[in-house]
Amino acid sequence: MPEPSHVLCAQPLLTRPEPLSRPDADLSRDAILAFIEEERAAGREPGRRDIAKAFQLDAGGKIWLKRLLRELELEENGGSGPVKPHAALPAVLLCEVKSRDREGDLVAAPLEWNEADQGEAPKILIERQREFRRKPKTVAPAATPGIGDHVLLKLTRLRGVDGYQWSGRTLKVMGRAKAQVLGIFRALPDGSGRLVPVDKKAQGREALIPKSQTGNAEDGDLVSVSFARESRFGPPQARVRERLGSLKSERAVSLIAIHAHGIPNEFQPATIAEAEAAKPATLAGREDWRTLPLITIDPADAKDHDDAVHAAPDDDPDNPGGHIVTVAIADVASYVRPGSALDREALERGNSVYFPDRVVPMLPERISNDLCSLRGGEDRPALAVRLILKADGAKKSHSFHRIMMRSAAKLSYQQAQAAIDGKPDDLTGPIRDSILMPLWAAYGSAARARDARQPLDLDLPERKLVLDADGKVTRVIVPERLAAHRLIEEFMILANVAAAETLEKAKSPLIYRCHDEPSLEKMRALGEVLASIGIKLPKDAALRPVLFNRILAMIKGSENELLMNEVVLRTQAQAEYVAENYGHFGLNLRRYAHFTSPIRRYADLVVHRALISALKLGDDGLPKSATLAELREVATRISAAERRAMAAERETTDRLIAHFLADQIGSSFDGRIAGLNRAGLFVKLDDTGADGFIPASTLGADYYRHDERAHALVGDRTGESWRLGDRVHVKLVEAAPVAGALRFELLTEGRPATSDRSGKRSRPALPMGRKQGRSPPKRSGRKR
């Protein structure tokens, strides 16, 4: 085995918070407030890290400060009001220009903002571009944005000036607004057409397209249209602006999400030319590890293979029972140079997008499926990390190497698991004892360290759509979760942590993968859900992943197990890419970065380049001119691209399942209530995981009110109720495949007024301003 280079001693993975006492008798709430006011008076908005640095806080002090700042958020705007979710926004934020105010200034709001969880979105005043009388420095000014544009803003906190809490200076216009609506063109006999909208919220609001405005669209085409002025009578009229493709088969369903979310799905000619001209990497400047029997373990249908693994017992007498684990990752940085056409387009895409019927890759196939794919028996360049693990799984040290490797085998998860379980096939038989079992032994040690670390442990089934040759769903399955999956995941986590540690040690800029702890709002909501099933959430418990694991252990095996796993998941903050570390709550890690998938994630490519530069492994690393501000911008862009991809993937799955169920109108299904509001119930079906809606107006003759604390719809007159997590039997009454929308009719009786899941007696909810014992107010014209 090759000799290690760039060895770095391990740092502890396990987060062990200090007691939450005040760290210094001289450090008080007033001192913190005074410092914040001084900074704001100087035109600066101090963050948590700025305050911690100013007061030289240790680990315990930083945790105390974090709690104090949360308390101050509660008091924002003068007292005991609710938490202001936007009391602190990041210094650089991707926003959408919403409107102009009375002074003609542009007003923006965060592009990714969930009002249900975060409250009303903050208004951000966009600063006007300055006009210089003298010739300014040669810096290209940012383009002037318009309404509907996506812009990257550098934020400054305001003190309630003209009703604004924030102003923003335009750093970059990320995308121009498209004055269009997407829909499916349906041809009419007279040559005109109608538009079936693809947006769930627009269902039932079709538009007419005159014969002269069809743009030669054919029946079933996905089109973008612009609307004429709506008349007082009849449906609105539209004009076809562009034909985007035919949707006559399910295989094209993903086109809707691709165009609706503006996902680039065709590479620029310069990008393709650059990829085709790329030559295979050579051994020059690399360690030759081609004799090390690394193997790839991936899904059976994987086309690109960007990670390979190997393990062996450590023969060091100072590390009895230890293991040497090697994780080798495709060296994408050797082909995708900073500033190249490949690099620019990879940043624009941010990540690969995986639809059930297609993949929209971050890099052209010449790179992703050929030169960088770690194919069996072929020489491939890689960036590898060698991990020295102790018998208990704790990392003793690690080292990074730039290598040439040759994969000894390409296995699926099912093949690897079968061989480990004693059922090898022709491919795994010869390598079971020499390669697979040492990997299994090393994983056993790593798993012990993971269990000691106590990361968040959710158990949610992941459904997969099985498509036929025409792209039509034939069935929905839940693939078995194998130990082989966990083996690869754990080794990838160890490699990711090693990358972050190495770059921090080298004082190199990098992009972290961070995950904040849940907000106070979400913890309150979780407490209410738990109370509805008779479980009390400890108010003073330290907010750590183990708290959620204990909750899930309490309800394991009960009827609420799946529900509570989903509720705990919704309680969590969304992970993001940032240039300044604040840890990973879910994994319970102090530092974490993405290193293991540079073929499909731009963040990993940045980390590879940073390692190459920091360890002097080549001249194709992170440019010396790279600044923290530039990495902040990149992190913001790729975080937004990730959320865009997740939304597009989810919507496409909804549309394909709606297609699958469209011919089952009138059929009944079992499911449970996965959400509710005053408009009705959201039901998730057991077999397919399909989501559908039951309007409150169809529940019965009663008038149903939303009891937010009990997470229930409760009848005014009868007290009959339906609660979050209740099992229900429903009938499918409508399917809109184009929008991915389903509507159900409830066949299950609600809970009577005298019982709930906690065993307490309940009574009908009372209208606002009405005391018990009085007659209900008259509702003229309202259906009951």
What is the 3-class SS of 543-611, one letter each residue?
A: CCHHHHHHHHHHHCCCCCHHHHHHHHHHHCCCCEEECCCCCECCCCECCCCCCCCCCCEHHHHHHHHHH
CA separation for the pair 308, 1 (Å, rounded): 16
Per-residue pLDDT, 489: 97
Q: Which of 570, 566, 556, 560 is nearest to 532 (CA)?
A: 560
**Residue 4: per-residue pLDDT:** 42
- pLDDT value of residue 563: 87
Higher pLDDT, 225 or 408: 408
* Neighbour-count burial of 214, counting CB atoms closer than 10 A to its CB (0-12 exposed, 13-18 middle, 19+ buried): buried
Q: Answer yes or no: are the C-beta atoms of 750 and 722 closer than 8 Å.
A: yes
More confident residue, 37 or 572: 572
Check if the beta carbon of residue 106 is closer than 8 Å to that of residue 126: yes
Q: Find residue 93's DSSP bridge partners.
A: 153
The contacts of residue 33 (CB under 8 Å, 6+ apart) are 72
The 8-class DSSP code of residue 371 comes to I
Least confident of 100-114, 655-669, 710-724: 100-114
- Mean pLDDT for the stretch of residues 178-203: 82
The C-alpha angle with vertex 114 and arms to 113 and 120, in degrees rounded to 5, equals 80
Tell me how many helices (H) and strands (E) the chain has.
Answer: 16, 32
pTM of the prediction?
0.76
**When comparing pLDDT for 82 and 429, which is higher?**
429
Assigned token pair, 664: 């089952």
pLDDT of residue 157: 82
Mean pLDDT value across residues 114-120? 66
Which of the pair, 420 or 117, is modelled with greater confidence? Answer: 420
- In sequence order, the 6+-apart residues with CB closer than 8 A to the CB of 485 are 413
Residues 683-706: what's their mean pLDDT? 92
The confidence score (pLDDT) of residue 100 equals 74
Output the six-digit token pair for 32.
Answer: 């913190």
Residue 668 parent element (H or E): strand 668-677
* Mean pLDDT, range 151-165, rounded to an integer: 77
More confident residue, 608 or 176: 608
The count of residues in the chain is: 784
What integer pLDDT is reported at residue 43 of this predicted model?
Answer: 60
Among the ranges given (164-178, 360-374, 614-628), the one the predictor scored with the smallest mean pLDDT? 164-178
pLDDT band at 78 (very low <50, low <70, confident <90, very high): very low
Q: Does the pLDDT of residue 762 top 60, yes or no?
A: no
Q: What's the confidence (pLDDT) of residue 647? A: 92
Q: For residue 148, is pLDDT > 80?
A: no
pLDDT score for 88: 67
Residue 92, pLDDT score? 84
What confidence score (pLDDT) does residue 757 get?
45
Q: Residue 193 above 80 pLDDT?
A: yes
611 with 502: CB under 8 angstroms?
yes
The lowest-confidence range among 91-95, 453-457, 612-616, 754-758 is 754-758
- pLDDT, greater one: 521 or 505: 505
Q: Is the pLDDT of residue 727 over 60?
A: yes
Local confidence band at 520 (pLDDT 50, 70, 90 cut-offs): confident
Percent with pLDDT over 90 in the chain: 54
What pLDDT score was predicted for residue 20?
37
Check residues 451 and 701 and name the one with the higher pLDDT: 451
**Bridge partner residues of 729 (DSSP):** 670
Confidence of residue 116 (pLDDT cuts 50, 70, 90): low
CB count, 10 Å around CB of 455?
A: 21
Average pLDDT, the chain: 84
Q: Token pair of 320, please?
A: 């009895």
